[in-house]
Structure 1
Amino acid sequence: MNKGKALRAGDTIGLVATSSPATEEMLNKAIAGLVELGFKVKVGETCYETYGGYLAGTPLQRAGELNAMFADDEVDGIMCMRGGYGAPQILPMLDYDLIAQNPKLFVGYSDITALHTAFGQQAGLATLHGPMATSDIAHGLDDWSKQYLLRAMTRPEPLGPIINPPGEDVVCLVEGQAYGPIVGGNLALIATLMGTPYQLDTRGKILFLEDIDEEPYRIDRMLTQMALGGLFNDCAGVVIGTWTNCEPKKREGFSVWDVFQNIVVPYGKPTIWNVQIGHGAFNMALPFGVEATLDATHGVLAIEESVTV
């Protein structure tokens, strides 16, 4: 895999808005937060844009700026301002050859799942599923998540075991061990890319899933779509993150736990539940595209390869 360099104090992070807009107040707080972490910040123009109410600039603007950040020698790493919606729109407009030739650490989650997938499969770029600028850093990262983010961004060494904060137990759903690169991200985005040139390839890989604000019947529908597409049959193992505000709203019935038991567990792939990554109170950084070991029997996911050089 292509890898960006590990960041050091004083390095410049390029801030991009690939999806939805944010307020200038939150943007300023995010910039201050990144400076406090020891980085310089180069803010993309799209971070100040609003297009159609729910987009930070046109698809062409957002794609062009992201391409430019990879090409910019002054930018050492790239972080997304926030998720929301819009990243899938720009996938056909990205210059994957340029990105492969100028690898940089790329950080984001949620809607950014589309970019993680495309970068990994089209540019061979290892990326970091982790906290973003206005979504997380502007609000003040908890110490646990901050520790994982900084370790992943600044140390060119494997993260090793991903350990939950105290009081959050990892649960084994299916025993066994799996080995392979980690891929995945937000369930809704993985489902969105099904049947497109950017569909997630899970063959021989450890699949990570998380989401927010989706009722169990919607999660059922998206997992079923993935199952019909062969993603669970192909994967080596499954890591299930957090499912914030995903309870049934209008009726009693299956919980998210039940849905995974019904759809994913029967595939018999080593599977763990409740890793604190996603839209919850904690959001530990998780490298994508690098080798990992999943010991589901003992509830341990260990990152065996650095996401940076």
Structure 2
Amino acid sequence: MMYPQRLRKGDMVGVIAPASPVKRRRLDKGLKFLEELGLQVKLGKHVDMVYGYLAGEDSARLADFHDMVKDPDIKAIIFARGGYGTPRIASAVDYQLIRENPKIIWGYSDITYLHTAIRQKTGLVTFHGPMVASDMAKDDFDDLSRFMFQQLFGPTTLIYSEKISPLQTVAEGEAQGQLTGGNLSLLVSSLGTPFEIDTKGKLLLLEDIGEEPYRVDGMLNQLRLSGKLEEAAGIVVGDFAEAEAKLDTSLTLEEVFEHYLGDLGCPVLSGFRIGHCFPHFSVPLGTTARLSSREKTLVVNPGIQ
């Protein structure tokens, strides 16, 4: 793996919108948090563009990303929001440019597709964490979510325990492996493409928003049939927000998780506040982590140098 360099006070970070459009009022509000961290901000040239449900045409969003990657003054790229759009540009990303200019890349949700593509094409560790307009601008952006950005300023071993939230053991065991994954629907959409998620021997993180239990059932079934679940060393079940069933009768999410994840022969824990939630426990993807049902912990190695 390739690790990006840490941030220092006064560094400049780039903010771009590679997926759905951004409301400028929310973007400006979120930028204040980055400034509170002692960082300077440079916005992408096309960050205010709107092209239907996208933040500009593919070429514009891709150009902003490439500009930030190759700009030597930009020490980190922090995405404004997710939504939809990063899978459209994944095949056109210059991965050699990223290898030559490794830097912090931070976001989640739709950004999962880009995280997966970058890690598997370059080996760069990237970060699953809150975004500027969709999270930092919210009034309930809490202290722990804010504190998680400190891992960018110095190598930090992260320890998630029940001090943060109750954790449920879906399957017992202990395993170590590279932490990978993210948004479930984006992981499933990668199957059969050049960016298909590699789970072999890895700890697979799963989270999502707005997906009813039957939809989660279908996506987990697709991961199961493609062999991605049985290849994993362990499963980290993050937050599944707004997942209430609208059907008259439904299985619960817990029953769905038990059906697909309960007999994999590897540790599976659920209840992690990782995803579309506050607090949002931010984690580096690509670094080594250890999952233990006995200790009910997830320990993640530092994601920067």
Same fold, judged at TM 0.5 (above): yes
Tell me the alpha carbon deviations over residues 22-58 of structure 1, each in whole angstroms, 9 at most, x when there is no partner. 1111111122221122110000022211111x10011
Match of 1:239 in 2: 236
The structural deviation recorded for 1:156 is 2.0
Aligned sequence identity (%): 39
Paired residue type of 1:203? K
Structure 2 contact 15–43 (Cα < 8 Å) conserved: yes
Match of 2:74 in 1: 75
Match of 1:39 in 2: 39
TM-score (norm 2): 0.97
Which of 167, 171, 183 is residue 170 of structure 1 equivalent to? Answer: 167
Q: C-alpha separation between the residues in 1 aligned to 2:121 and 2:67?
A: 17
Tell me the alpha carbon deviations over residues 98-147 of structure 1, each in whole angstroms, 9 at most, x when there is no partner. 10111001100000000110010001110110011001111252001111
The structural deviation recorded for 1:158 is 2.5
Q: 1:164/1:111 Cα in 2 relative to 1: closer, same or farther (>3 Å)?
A: farther
Q: How many residues align?
A: 304
Q: C-alpha separation between the residues in 2 aligned to 1:267 and 1:153?
A: 34
Q: 1:142/1:211 Cα in 2 relative to 1: closer, same or farther (>3 Å)?
A: same
Paired residue type of 2:104? L
- Partner SS state of residue 120, structure 1: helix
- Partner SS state of residue 13, structure 1: strand
Match of 1:228 in 2: 225
The structural deviation recorded for 1:164 is 5.2
The structural deviation recorded for 1:297 is 2.4
- Partner SS state of residue 202, structure 1: coil
Q: 1:133/1:27 Cα in 2 relative to 1: closer, same or farther (>3 Å)?
A: same
TM-score (norm 1): 0.96
Match of 2:50 in 1: 50
The structural deviation recorded for 1:165 is 5.5
Structure 2 contact 214–250 (Cα < 8 Å) conserved: no
Q: C-alpha separation between the residues in 2 aligned to 1:129 and 1:265?
A: 25
Paired residue type of 1:5? Q
Aligned residue runs from structure 1 range 165-244, under 5 A: 166=164, 168-244=165-241
Q: Does 1:10 align with 2:10?
A: yes
Paired residue type of 1:93? A
Match of 2:291 in 1: 294
Paired residue type of 1:139? K
Paired residue type of 2:36? E
- Partner SS state of residue 224, structure 1: helix
The RMSD of aligned alpha carbons is: 1.2
Q: Does 1:25 align with 2:21?
A: no
Tell me the alpha carbon deviations over residues 191-236 of structure 1, each in whole angstroms, 9 at most, x when there is no partner. 1111111010001100000011000111011111111111011110
Aligned residue runs from structure 1 range 105-184, under 5 A: 105-140=104-139, 141-150=141-150, 152-159=151-158, 161-163=159-161, 166=164, 168-184=165-181
Unaligned stretches of 5+ residues in structure 2: none
Match of 2:102 in 1: 103
Unaligned stretches of 5+ residues in structure 1: none
- Partner SS state of residue 134, structure 2: coil
- Partner SS state of residue 226, structure 1: helix
Q: C-alpha separation between the residues in 2 aligned to 1:242 and 1:7?
A: 28
Q: C-alpha separation between the residues in 2 aligned to 1:45 and 1:250?
A: 44
Q: 1:196/1:216 Cα in 2 relative to 1: closer, same or farther (>3 Å)?
A: same
Structure 1 contact 149–284 (Cα < 8 Å) conserved: no
Q: Higher mean Cα deviation, 34-43 or 107-116?
A: 34-43
Structure 2 contact 171–266 (Cα < 8 Å) conserved: yes
Q: C-alpha separation between the residues in 2 aligned to 1:265 and 1:75?
A: 44
Q: C-alpha separation between the residues in 2 aligned to 1:234 and 1:263?
A: 13
- Partner SS state of residue 134, structure 1: helix
